[in-house]
Amino acid sequence: MPFGQAPLVPINSYRKDENLWLLPYNAELPLDGGFPEFGNGQSMEIPKQYDPKEAEQRHYARWESSGCFAPEINRNPAAPVFSIVIPPPNVTGSLHMGHALQHTMMDVLTRYKRMCGFRTLWLPGTDHAGISTQLVVTRELKKEGLNRLDLGREKFVERVWKWKNESGGQITNQMRREGASVDWSREKFTMDADLTRAVREVFVRLYEEGMIYRGNRLVNWCPNDQTVLSDLEVEKIPQAGKLYYLRYPIKGEDGHVTVATTRPETMLGDTAVAVNPNDSRFEKLVGATILLPLTNREIPLVADEFVDPEFGTGAVKITPAHDPNDYEMGLRHDLAQVVVIDAYARMTEAAGADFVGLDRYKAREKVVARFTEMELLEKVVDYEFSISKCERCKTVVEPLISLQWFMRMDRLRDLALEHLAREGQPRFVPRQYERVYSNWLENLRDWTISRQLWWGHQIPAWYTSSGETIVARSYEEACESAGTTELTQDPDVLDTWFSSALWPFSTMGWPEQTEDLRVFYPTSVLITARDIIFLWVSRMVMMGLKFIGQGPFADVYITGTILDSHGQRMSKTKMNGIDPLDVFDKYGVDATRLTLASVGTTDVRWNEKQVESYRNFANKIWNAARFALMNAEGAAVNPSSLNPADEDFPLQDRWIVSRFHRTTRDLRVALENYEFHEAVQTLYHFFWDDFCDWYIELAKIDVTSEEDSLRRTTARTRLLTILEQALRLLHPFMPYITEELWQRLPGAESNLLHQAYAGADATIMLAAFPEAREELIDEKAEWQMKTIIDLVSRVRNIRSEMNIKPAERVRVLVGAADPQLRDVFSASAEQITRLVRASELSVGGELNAPKASARAVLTGGAEVAVPLEGLIDFAQELQRLDKEMEKLRTEAAKIETQLSNPNFVQRAPAEKVDELRSRIADIAQRSTQLQQTIENLQ
RNA sequence: AGGCACGUACGUCAAUGGUAGACGGCUUCCCUUACAAGGAAGAGGUUGGGGGUUCGAGUCCCUCCGUGCCUACCA
C-alpha cells in the first residue's frame, strides 16, 4: 500500500478549546464512490488545523480513475497542445529530492495548462537502467548462494523481469503521492515490446547508413562490472600518487633515456618512446633503438608533436594497448599493440613469465622492485593526478583494446548544432547552458554503445558460422537475409542511454505514425537536472532530428540542485539525503511542493524551516476557507458577482478584484517564463496579505452580520467567489488542499469547469484557470486602499509605540484637505474603526485635535491624530516624530541628490524624472506638516 | 589547464540598469469568536574587496579574494 491510512490524530491536545470535531467522512474514505459530498451552503464544523493526510488520501485515486490526467478528457478538438515526457527514473530507484523537484515543476505546468484548456499530456515511465538493475538482482542471487552464471542468461533475464514486476517501480507509487498528474494509461518502460521495436529500428537504420559500426578500439573497461563504459560513465577523481622515473638503456650506447610514468606496470607493454621533434635534447636520439628492460624487446624512439618537452623528462613511454593517448600515437606511428593487462586487470602472458597472472598493482610493485635492483629507477616523486573510476562501482577503469559497437556522432552532431543555430532550439533556461551544450557537441567523439551485460536491449546483430554479420529487426528477418537459421546473436546489450535517447518518440508509438506522435511530438518542455545534458538531452535532440525530423522539445529547463544544509550534495554514500516522503509526512505534500517550486535554477541548501512556513501557509488557506464556510449561509460561489460595474461595489471589493487580476496576470507571466519562485511569491502575498489580512478583515462586518440582508448575502457571495478563484490560482502548486476546500464550497460545481471539460465530474483541476482582465485592474481603487492601509498602519504604530493596550479604545481624528480623500475614509469608516480598534472616527477638512495627541502625516497629505489625554508621554512622542522626520529627510536627501544632477534631469527618461518629482513633493508636504506638529508639541 | 556559476540582513534565498525585499529567526505587545501553524508593531544592509562604464550599478565590464560545479589526451 503506497500510502497507508493515516490514523486520526487528536488536534493540538494542549489547547483549551481543543475540538474533536470529526468530519462526516472520517469513518470511510470515499475511494469507491464519487467525490465526497459536502453540505452545500450548510454550516459545518471544520477543524481549526489543516490535516494534509486527509486530503492527500482522498483525491488522487479519484482524479486518476475518472480520467482527469489523460488528454482524452479534453473534448475540444481545436484545443492547443501541451506535452511533457517525464525523464524516466530508474526502475530500481526510489523517489529522491531531485525527482520531487522536477516532478513538482512539471506538474505545476501540466496542471496550469490543463486548467487553461490545453490538451495536456504528461507521459510517465521508467528506465530499465542496465547495470543498476542487473546488480540489484545479482545481489539478490548472491544471498541465495548463486551467481548469474549459475542461472544462465535466459533464466537470469527472466529473474530480472520477475524482480521488475514485483519490486520495480515503487517510484510510480511515490509519484502518486506527489500528486503528479501523469497519464498512467500511457505509462512506458524502456524495455516494453513497442519501445524495443523502436530501438531495433533505429539500430538497423543507423547501421545501414554506416553510422553504427563494430570495431576494435581502446575503450574504458570496468574490471569489476566486466563491461565497457562510455566516456560519460567514467569519473575523474584527483588523487595523490607517484611519478616514477624509469631509465631505458639505448642500444649500442652507454646512455639511457629516462621516462616518467604513473603506471610502471604498463612498461611491459611499451612499444616505443616518444619525444617532441623540436626538443634539441633528443635530436640525435630520434630513430635510436631502446632496449626495453624486463623484456627482450627492442623498441624505437619516435618523434611526436604531442609530447610536451616541459613535462617530466621530455621523453614518454608509449603503451598503445593501455593508454588513450598512446593508443592514438601508436596509430600515427604504426606501433604494435602489446596487451599486457586483461579484462580482470591482471597481467597477461605477454607481460612475461614473471608477471603473468599478477594483479596490476602487484605487478607495479614488482616492476618497481626490479628497476630498483637493476639501478634503473632514477627517482620517485609525489604527484597528484586524476584517475578514472567507474561511476557506478568506483573501480579504477582500465583502458583496454576491445571489440565493441560504436555510433558515429559527426552527422548527428551537425544536425543538433544546426537546429540550435537555425531555429534556436532547444531553448535553454537558463540561457548559459546553451553554450555548455554546444561546446560539448562540437567536441563530440564516437559513442561506445555496446555493454557486456545481460539486462538490456540485446544488440540486433547475428553472426553466421562463417563470421558474417547480419543486422536485422528480428531473428526471422536475420535468418531470411542470411539464408540460414544457424545464427548466433551478439551477446552484448545496448547502453541504457540508447533507448533513453528515443524516449520522446518511442513512447508515442514510433516507428508507427500514431495519433499520439502526431499530436504530442515535439513536446513542450523538458525539465531536468544539469548532469544529464550530455548523457540524455543532447542525444534525444540528435535522435529526434534524425528520425522524426523535428527536435523533441522546444524548451529545456535545467533545475538547480538541492544540497544538504551544509551545502553538500545529497548522496546515498554520504547518507545525507532528505527523503521527500518523510517531508510529505511531516508537512504535507502541498507545502513541500511550494518549497520545491521556489527553487529556481541555482543550487540551494535544504531548509526545513521553509517547508514549515509553507505548511503554515496551507493552514492559513484552510482557515480562510473555514471562515468563509462558517459564514456561507444563503450564499454560493457566483463568478458574475465580481463585476465592479455593478452598483454597490464597495472599495474593498473593487480593490480585491483588482489585486486578483493583477496577481493572475503576474502569475501567468511567471509561469510562462518558468519563474516558479516568482509565481509562488505572487500567490503567497496575494492570498495572505491582500486576501486574508485586508480583504477578509474589511469584509468581516458585512459577512458576519447577524441580520439576513442582501448586503450580507452579497458580501458572502463575493468572499466565496474570490476564495474560489484564488483556489484555482493555487491549484497547480497545491493540488490537494485546493481540491479539498473547493469541493466544500457551495456552488463549486461542474459549471465552473473549463468548457473543454464540459460534462466531466466537478473537480478544481478541470476548472478554468482565471483570465487576467486588464480592465479590472483598478489603479484608483488600489491607491485608495493604499491610503486606508496607510492610515490604519499609522494608528496601529501609534498605539504600539504609546503602549496602548489592545483592548483599549481610542478616538481617531483624521484631517484631509482633499475632499476625495475624505470620501474614501468616510466610506470605509466602519471598517477603519474596527481595524484600529477605535471608539470613534471623525474625518474632517482639517485636524482639530487636542495638544495631547499622538500624530502622524499620511501619504497624500492627510493627517491623523489620536488624542491621549493623560496618557501621552510628550518626550516619547517627540522622539517618535523625530524618528519619522529623520526617515523623511534621508529619503528626501537621496532624491534631491539625483534631481540636482543636471545630467539626470537631461538624460533619464522623463517619466522617471516626473516620478521622483512627485515623490519629493509628497515628502516635502509631509515634512512641513510633521514639522508643524513637532513645533506644536513643544 | 580551461569554462561556467555563485558571494546580498543572524540563517536560507529574491530583486527587466531606476525607492535593496521575502520567509524563518530576533525584540515588544496580544489566546481580539477564521487561523497562536495566528494577529499588531519594530530592530536589523557601505549588496566579498578594489577599479571602470552610466544621469543612475546588487545588476554591465575589468581585477583580486573566497566557494562550488562542469569539461580536458600532460605521461
Instruction: Check if residue A443 sits with its Cβ under 7 angstroms from strand B.
Output: yes
pLDDT confidence of residue A927: 87
Low-confidence winner among A73-77, A323-327, A352-356, A894-898 (lowest mean pLDDT): A894-898
Handedness of CA A833, A839, A844, A847 (dihedral sign): negative
Task: Return the closest nucleotide (C1') to the Cα of A904.
Answer: B55
Strand B: positions under 7 A of a protein C-beta atom: 3-6, 11-15, 18-19, 22-25, 28-32, 34-43, 54-56, 67-75
For residue A688, say whether its CB is under 7 Å from any atom of strand B. Answer: yes
Nucleic acid strand B within 7 Å of A694 CB: no
Range in A291-305, A605-619, A874-888 with the lowest mean pLDDT = A874-888
Q: What is the pLDDT of residue A210?
A: 95
CB of residue A26 closer than 7 A to nucleic acid strand B? Answer: no
Per-residue pLDDT band for A480 (boundaries 50, 70, 90) equals very high
Strand B, CB < 7 A, residues 468-527 of A: none
CA atoms of A206 and A214, how far apart (whole Å): 12
Contacts 24+ apart (CB under 8 A), A160-163: A160/A133, A160/A134, A160/A454, A160/A455, A163/A133, A163/A136, A163/A137
Alpha-carbon dihedral A437, A440, A445, A448, rounded to 10 degrees: -60
> CB of residue A903 closer than 7 A to nucleic acid strand B?
yes
Average pLDDT over residues A833-844: 92
Residue nearest B36 (alpha carbon to C1'):
A15
Identify nearest nucleotide to residue A14 by CA to C1′ distance.
Answer: B36
User: CA-to-C1' distance for A439 and B2, Å?
Assistant: 12
The distance (Å) linking the CA of A225 with the C1' of B18 is: 60
Say yes or no to pLDDT of A504 above 50: yes
* Predicted confidence band of residue A105 (pLDDT cuts 50, 70, 90): very high
Helix (H) or strand (E) holding A199: helix A193-208
Strand partners, A854: A866
Q: How far apart are CA A665 and CA A774, in angstroms?
A: 8
**Which three cell numbers, joined as nine digits, stand for A185?**
494509461
pLDDT exceeds 60 at position A104 = yes
Which string of DSSP letters, residue by residue, matches A485-532?
S--EE---EE-HHHHHHTHHHHTTTTTS--HHHHHH-SEEEEEEEGGG
Q: What is the pLDDT of residues A7-49, one digit of tens each?
A: 322 322 222 233 323 233 333 333 333 344 444 444 457 888 8
Return the C-alpha cell found at A297.
Answer: 624487446
pLDDT at A12: 29
Q: Tell me: pLDDT of A690 over 80.
A: yes
Sign of the torsion angle spanned by Cα atoms A363, A369, A370, A372: positive
A812 secondary structure, DSSP code: E
If you write DSSP's letter for every residue of A774-804 in order, what string do you get? GGG--HHHHHHHHHHHHHHHHHHHHHHHTT-
Sequence-ordered list of residues with C-beta below 8 angstroms from that of A550, at least 6 positions apart, any chain: A521, A522, A544
Q: Is the pLDDT of residue A455 over 90?
A: yes
A432 is near strand B: CB distance < 7 Å: yes
A600 touches strand B (CB under 7 A): yes
Which residue from A785, A778, A865, A776 is spatially nearest to A824, judged by alpha carbons?
A: A785
Measured CA to C1', the nucleotide nearest A807 is B32
Average pLDDT on A406-413 reads 93
Give residue-wise pLDDT tens across range A236-246.
Answer: 887 878 889 99
Burial of residue A397 (number of CB atoms within 10 Å: 0-12, 13-18, 19+)? buried
DSSP A70-108: SGGG---TT--EEEEE--PPBTT----HHHHHHHHHHHH
Q: For residue A15, what pLDDT is reported?
A: 28
Q: Which of residues 205-244 of A touch strand B (CB under 7 A)?
A: 231-232, 236, 243
The strand B neighbours among A residues 252-291, by Cβ under 7 Å, are: 259-263
Closest-approach nucleotide to residue A619, Cα vs C1': B37
**What whole-number distance in Å separates Cα of residue A351 and Cα of residue A837?**
94
Cα–Cα dist A731/A765, whole Å = 7
The pLDDT assigned to A806 comes to 86
How far, in Å, is the CA of A109 from the C1' of nucleotide B40?
38
Read off the pLDDT of each residue in A523-527 and give the average, rounded to a whole number: 96
Whole-number pLDDT of residue A930: 86
User: What is the distance in angstroms measured between the alpha-carbon CA of A71 and the sugar C1' of B21?
Assistant: 40
Q: Which amino acid is at A776?
A: L
State residue A36's pLDDT score.
43
Summarize the confidence of residues A478-493 as an average pLDDT.
Answer: 93
Residue A918, CB, less than 7 Å from strand B? no
H-helix or E-strand spanning residue A388? strand A377-390
Alpha helices in A222-323 (DSSP H): none
* Closest amino acid to nucleotide B28 (CA–C1'): A800
The whole-number average pLDDT for the span A853-875 is 84
- A542 pLDDT band, cuts 50/70/90, is very high
Report the percent of chain A where pLDDT is more than 70: 95
A709 touches strand B (CB under 7 A): no
Higher pLDDT, A115 or A313: A115
Give dist(CA A745, CA A741) in Å, integer. 7
More confident residue, A236 or A629: A629
- Quote the cell numbers at residue A582: 518523510
Q: Are strands A315-318 and A272-275 parallel, antiparallel or unpaired?
A: antiparallel
The pLDDT, as a whole number, for residue A771 is 94
For residue A280, how many other CB atoms are within 10 A of its CB?
Answer: 8
Q: Is the CB of A902 under 7 A from strand B?
A: no
Which 350-389 residues of chain A approach strand B with CB closer than 7 Å? 385-386
Contact A529, A561 (CB under 8 A): yes
pLDDT at residue A376 above 60? Answer: yes
Q: How far is the CA of A129 from the C1' of B4 (A)?
A: 30
What lies within 8 Å, CB to CB, of A183 at 6+ separation is A69, A70, A71, A121, A122, A123, A124
pLDDT for residue A279 = 84
Assess contact for A525 and A556: CB atoms under 8 A.
yes
Residue A317 has pLDDT above 90, yes or no: yes
Nucleotide nearest to A887 (CA to C1'): B19
**What pLDDT does residue A743 have?**
94
Lowest average pLDDT, out of A214-218, A312-316, A718-722, goes to A312-316
Q: How many CB atoms lie within 10 A of CB A143?
A: 7
The arithmetic mean of pLDDT across residues A353-365, rounded, is 90
Question: Is strand B in 7 Å reach of the CB of A317?
Answer: yes
pLDDT band at A313 (very low <50, low <70, confident <90, very high): confident
pLDDT of A419? 94
Compute the mean pLDDT over every residue in chain A, rounded to the nearest whole number.
88
Question: What is the predicted pLDDT for the residue at A912?
Answer: 87
pLDDT at A152 over 50: yes
Residues 540-569 in A having a C-beta less than 7 A from any atom of strand B are 560, 563, 567, 569
For strand B, is any atom closer than 7 Å to the CB of A431?
no
**A230/A95 Cα distance (integer angstroms):** 26
Torsion-angle region of A146 (φ positive above 0: left; ψ -120 to 50: alpha; else: beta):
beta
Band (A3; pLDDT cuts 50, 70, 90): very low
Distance CA A789, CA A695 (A): 11
Q: How confident is the model at residue A128 (pLDDT cuts 50, 70, 90)?
A: very high
What does the pLDDT read at residue A492? 95
Q: Which nucleotide is nearest to A891 (CA to C1')?
A: B19
pLDDT of residue A311 exceeding 90 = no
Those residues whose C-beta lies under 8 Å from the C-beta of residue A710, and which sit 6 or more positions away, are: none
- Of all nucleotides, the one whose C1′ comes closest to residue A562's CA is B12
- Give me the DSSP letters along A129-156: -HHHHHHHHHHHHHHTT--HHHH-HHHH
Query: What was the pLDDT predicted at A169?
Result: 77
Kindly provide the ipTM of the predicted complex, given to two decimals: 0.95
The CA–C1' separation of A581 and B45, in angstroms, is 38
Q: Which nucleotide is nearest to A612 (CA to C1')?
A: B37
